[in-house]
């Protein structure tokens, strides 16, 4: 009887600590190794670049709300004046990425997700991963793109990301 009680206790503890959820515990995230541009801080003075892109994310057919603000007054960029990351979203403009830099540099989409501190690349988005039941597609101005986090952000782009069941 003691052995059965011990086994039952191990099973209960394992299920409460997600030991059996190996996929969740083994998820790697692109936000664990952010792009150096995610640490750049600036203000609105001396900008060589100030562009805007629209981003929409759909998970299983439902649009995911992008919280705002993102990339403003963070733990990294919080000094008086230089309080914005190179890609950010203002409170009153959901889904509108502001791409700003003091140099005319290329900024990939992955930088925004690094600033947001969430996963995004060809393997998935957030905690959703491409697998045998789900796939992910990204469209830029209506044309499918496989660049995902490497996509260079340009003024006026409309980016739509779809994570959904495979047909």
Judged against a pLDDT cut of 80, whether residue 159 lies above it is answered with yes
Handedness of CA 114, 94, 127, 150 (dihedral sign): negative
Tokens 């700003």 sit at which residue?
Answer: 100
Instruction: Tell me which residue of 130, 156, 165 sits closest to 55, measured CA to CA.
Output: 156
Structure token digits, residue 166 = 């495979």
Question: Residue ranges of the alpha helices (H) in the chain?
Answer: 2-16, 22-25, 109-116
**Cα first-last separation, the chain:** 50
How far out from the chain centre does Cα 63 lie?
14
119 neighbors 51 (Cβ within 8 angstroms):
no
User: Domain limits of the chain?
Assistant: 31-165
Q: What is the pLDDT of residues 25-38, one digit of tens each?
A: 467 898 889 999 99
Q: What is the pLDDT of residues 41-95, one digit of tens each?
A: 998 888 999 999 999 999 999 999 999 999 999 999 997 779 999 999 999 888 9
**CATH number listed for the domain at residues 31-165:** 2.170.130.30
Apex 164 CA angle, 107 and 90, nearest 5: 40
Rounded Cα gap, residues 167 and 153, in angstroms: 30
pTM: 0.83
């Amino acid at each position: 009887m003691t052995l059965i009680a011990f086994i039952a206790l191990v099973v209960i503890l394992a299920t409460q600590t997600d030991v059996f959820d190996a996929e969740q515990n083994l998820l790697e995230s692109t936000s664990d190794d952010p792009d150096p541009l995610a640490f750049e801080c600036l203000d609105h003075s001396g900008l060589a670049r100030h562009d805007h892109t629209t981003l929409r994310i759909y998970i299983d057919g439902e649009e995911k709300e992008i919280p705002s603000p993102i990339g403003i007054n963070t733990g990294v960029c919080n000094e008086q004046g230089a309080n914005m990351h190179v890609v950010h979203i203002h409170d009153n403009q959901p889904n509108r990425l502001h791409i700003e830099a003091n140099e005319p540099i290329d900024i990939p989409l992955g930088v925004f997700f690094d600033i947001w501190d969430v996963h995004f690349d060809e393997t998935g988005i957030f905690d959703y991963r491409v697998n045998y039941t789900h796939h992910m597609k990204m469209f830029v101005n209506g044309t499918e793109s496989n660049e995902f986090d490497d996509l260079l952000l340009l003024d006026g782009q409309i980016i739509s990301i779809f994570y959904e069941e495979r047909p």
